[in-house]
Structure 1
Amino acid sequence: MPSEGIELSPDGKLLTNDEIIRLATLFVKSGVTKIRLTGGEPTVRNGIDEIIASLNDLRRFGLKSIGMTSNGLALHRRLPHLVENGLSHLNLSLDTLDPFKFELITRRRGHDAVLKTLDVAMKSSLQHIKLNVVVIKGLNDTEVFDFVAMTKDMPLSVRFIEFMPFTGNKWDKRKMVPSSELLEKISARYPSVQRAPDELNDTARSWKIPSHAGSFGFISSMSDHFCSSCNRLRITADGQIKVCLFDAKELSLRDELRRGASEDQLLDIIGRAVFGKKEKHAGMEDIDVVTNRPMILIGGHPTIRSHSRRAPANRMWPASLLPQTQPLISRSHISAYHTCPSLTHLDEEGRASMVDIADKQPTKRTATAVGRIYIPLIAYELVTSTYPVGNTTVEPSSSREKAKAKARRKGDALTVAQLAAIMGAKKTSDLIPLCHPLSLTKVAVKLLPEALDGESGAQRYCILCQATVSTEGKTGVEMEALMAVSVGLLTVWDMLKAVAGREMEIGGIVVSHKAGGRSGDFRRELGEGEPRAIS
């Protein structure tokens, strides 16, 4: 809670219970398997019991988990009934085991009430209980071992969260304790600590001491972001969709709901929001803490986990999300969404930006590109004829023969073009500003003279160039294949310009197919007249 407090939203701006359930139904039918209600504090919401009961009815459509993130102050009396209604997972926020520090951090009393809620939760039938601890240097970092000790006898998961910047929380990077530093200290005291398995798309990296009933983990949003695997989306209490905790951009689903939007229209808005998601959030120095909401108006820590379920085949949007009281939604997976293209090499302000591939895993990738250079008959004869042997010192008499001799002095046009194409592929990152330098495992280039039947029976002459490039890397080699073909054809032009400089034409350069990588295999259906692969 910011020291100056917050301006409360009028009831008319908040999603109604019926609106929350309508959105929940839409998302679950489209593939969402987990919904978490966050805050603010979800227990202050009128009708929270009925919301959970209504969400529980969605299990028949594939919903597997209903979670809540709470401060625990008023939960211990209501928790048994919420569990009866369908609540299956609980995250309690507790940053200190010291009552005095608790009041300092939360600006209220109630430390005993939170511990009572934890006790009630441990005795309930909840499937999973987690304790969220935001670690702040000089405030509660000395209590880390006390929280770890809680996992000895209690089967709960303590998650240490790095101090994150939001409006009003007086964030200072000097107060942020990197997760790696905490792990080093814990490992020194508990040498037997070992890595614990994490669920798919989990935000926390978990660890376990063999003799302990519970586990602990780290949410390293600042020092070691997990953006590449993050599948969380949030719907705020006033119906705005946020695709990233650290991004101030929002789109209103509430307004569209109240305008009578159809399911497809709502899915379109959600798709636009997801496609605007950045590859990763800004670094610690550049995160927006001015226009982004304070955490109490966003909702919860980023601790939701989801379980994949195939979305209906007719949906072309990211199957995911849903609300809560400050609703937080997690999506199970993202499908291709083609209606809102974006340029990956430009940032949100239109400036050139190199794509970050640090979190990608190296895989075997190949790409093949093809293209043609159209040449006149004289050039075609030159590249397909046998080179003269014997006495070549006789001066050519006609201008045509002189041009041929000049072209021949450059050597075998197709061999030189083949070598140039291979070199071009290897130099792609030097020539294309935002391309990543790659270690290529193979570059294969072929050049083939062709005589094609043109319109009205007339023949056209050309040289087909095909380049196949392979790598074992984090990003594809389409650019390298296209560069090889382009340089190869340009070299043919240079080799033949003495006889055909005014008549040549380069065209039809395309990626014919690729294999490997996150986006999967691709094969282009070539139209009539487009370059075919050389067998």
Structure 2
Amino acid sequence: MPRRAPTVDRGQVPDSELEDRFGRRFAYLRLSITDVCNFRCEYCLPDGYQGRPTGFLHQAEIGRLVRSFAELGIRKLRITGGEPLVRKDALAIIAEAAATPGIEKVALTTNAFNLARQAEALREAGLSAINISLDSLNPEGFERITGDKRFDKVMAGIDAAIAAGIPSVKINTVLLGGLNDHEVPDFMEFVRERPVAVRFIELMQTADNGEYFRRRHVSGQTVADRLQAAGWVPQKRGETDGPAVEYTHPDYAGRIGLIAPYAPGFCDGCNRLRVTARGGLRLCLFGNGTHDLRPLLQDDADMPALKRSICQTLVGKEVSHHLHEGDFGDTPHLASTGG
């Protein structure tokens, strides 16, 4: 059963910085702008999007949200979905975020279905990092996993992002037993001449994928062992970096990363918060419930109260997720929360 959220004394809580009860500081916000996705990845939305494609935060609300978080110390913002580029105003949202005082890096996570056409405009808007989902390096494997035939468009999008000069280009690959785990050497070769990072993401259990998880889960440690045996060296994480441990090798232009949420101590260095596409502050990807910020996003005059509300809610953040206990909170699938 999902754990109940802890009872928290919401007394005097500072509204000038983001720090939880365990001394962790937060400088990274993941903001979903839609939960709609146009792919049918079998580990996330095998039946396609079944939600309600309305009621997402408007651009003005997003602007107030980003400004408030920036004033609380957020320096890195990642725009996620669903698939964020299905929103017609995604470019305008990114441009406004990049111009917000205090925001040093604006990143985007996308399936790259339309990236080749938009890469230059995204760079001009101020995008400083992009993560592209790519679960196989061959068209047949790609279609098998994603339910989509646009492999060539995704590959063209990767090349376009590099050519546009987006400073950080990363590839997200969900590690799936029997489907793409045999491609680890191919992904290593992929970064030999390309200045990109491939990050293998250990499959995580959610409410909708229990049987699939048991069938396809592969421990991230198998990739770590393989990398270190081949001479790859882990690098130290930066203050606003995500949860990936990245490895480098002198013979390769790119890097290989690993996100292993089942590894010991995974949550110790947590530095990120999440806001859903409808304005819910979520303290953990695998927690329970969200705190509705939307009523405080309607007017600039509400921003001081908004900041206090964020800091008060942060007091309830737990020290760790409970995935090892089979408790994945109330996350139905990753597209619902922005991953």
TM-score by length of 1: 0.52
Q: Does 1:129 pair with 2:169?
A: yes
Q: Does 1:14 pair with 2:53?
A: no
- Counterparts of 2:58 and 2:157 in 1: how far apart (Å)? 27
- Counterparts of 2:105 and 2:121 in 1: how far apart (Å)? 17
- Counterparts of 1:3 and 1:187 in 2: how far apart (Å)? 34
Give the counterpart letter for 2:232 in structure 1.
V
CA contact (8 A) 2:76 2:240 kept: no
Q: What aligned pairs does 1:374-413 form with structure 2 within 5 A after superposition?
A: none
Cα shift at 1:227 = 0.9
Q: What aligned pairs does 1:300-339 form with structure 2 within 5 A after superposition?
A: 300=339
Q: Does 1:227 pair with 2:267?
A: yes
- 1:172 counterpart residue number: 213
Q: Does 1:46 pair with 2:88?
A: yes
Cα shift at 1:74 = 1.2
CA contact (8 A) 1:2 1:169 kept: no
Q: Which runs of 5 or more residues in structure 1 are unaligned?
A: 301-535
- 1:413 counterpart residue number: none
Cα shift at 1:169 = 3.4
- 1:245 counterpart residue number: 285
Q: 1:186 aligns with which of 216, 227, 241?
A: 227
- 1:2 counterpart residue number: 45
CA contact (8 A) 1:167 1:295 kept: no
Number of corresponding residues: 294
Give the counterpart letter for 2:312 in structure 1.
R
Would the alpha carbon gap of residues 30 and 93 (structure 1) be closer, same or farther in structure 2, given more than 3 Å must change?
A: same
Which SS does the other structure have where 1:284 is aligned?
helix
Q: Does 1:197 pair with 2:239?
A: no
Q: Does 1:93 pair with 2:136?
A: no
CA contact (8 A) 2:267 2:320 kept: yes
- Counterparts of 1:123 and 1:258 in 2: how far apart (Å)? 39
Give the counterpart letter for 1:68 in structure 2.
L
Give the counterpart letter for 1:280 in structure 2.
S
- Counterparts of 2:128 and 2:172 in 1: how far apart (Å)? 17
Q: Does 1:293 pair with 2:336?
A: no
Q: 2:69 aligns with which of 5, 14, 27?
A: 27
Q: Could you report, residue by residue, the CA deviation over 1:86-115 in whole angstroms, capped at 9, with x for unpaired residues?
A: 111000111111212211211221111110
Give the counterpart letter for 1:97 in structure 2.
L
Identity, % of aligned pairs? 34
- Counterparts of 2:87 and 2:136 in 1: how far apart (Å)? 26
Cα shift at 1:151 = 1.5
- 1:36 counterpart residue number: 78
Which SS does the other structure have where 1:172 is aligned?
helix
Which SS does the other structure have where 2:169 is aligned?
strand
Would the alpha carbon gap of residues 224 and 159 (structure 1) be closer, same or farther in structure 2, given more than 3 Å must change?
A: farther
CA contact (8 A) 1:93 1:132 kept: yes
CA contact (8 A) 1:74 1:113 kept: yes
Q: Greater relative contact order: 1 or 2 (C-alpha under 8 angstroms, separation 6 or more)?
A: 2
Would the alpha carbon gap of residues 6 and 137 (structure 1) be closer, same or farther in structure 2, given more than 3 Å must change?
A: same
Which SS does the other structure have where 2:132 is aligned?
strand
Cα shift at 1:272 = 2.7
- 1:332 counterpart residue number: none
Which SS does the other structure have where 2:323 is aligned?
coil
- 1:153 counterpart residue number: 193
CA contact (8 A) 2:68 2:306 kept: no
Q: Could you report, residue by residue, the CA deviation over 1:407-463 in whole angstroms, capped at 9, with x for unpaired residues?
A: xxxxxxxxxxxxxxxxxxxxxxxxxxxxxxxxxxxxxxxxxxxxxxxxxxxxxxxxx
Cα shift at 1:133 = 0.8
- 2:179 counterpart residue number: 139
Q: Could you report, residue by residue, the CA deviation over 1:5-43 in whole angstroms, capped at 9, with x for unpaired residues?
A: 4433353x2110110011111111222111110110110
Would the alpha carbon gap of residues 173 and 223 (structure 1) be closer, same or farther in structure 2, given more than 3 Å must change?
A: farther
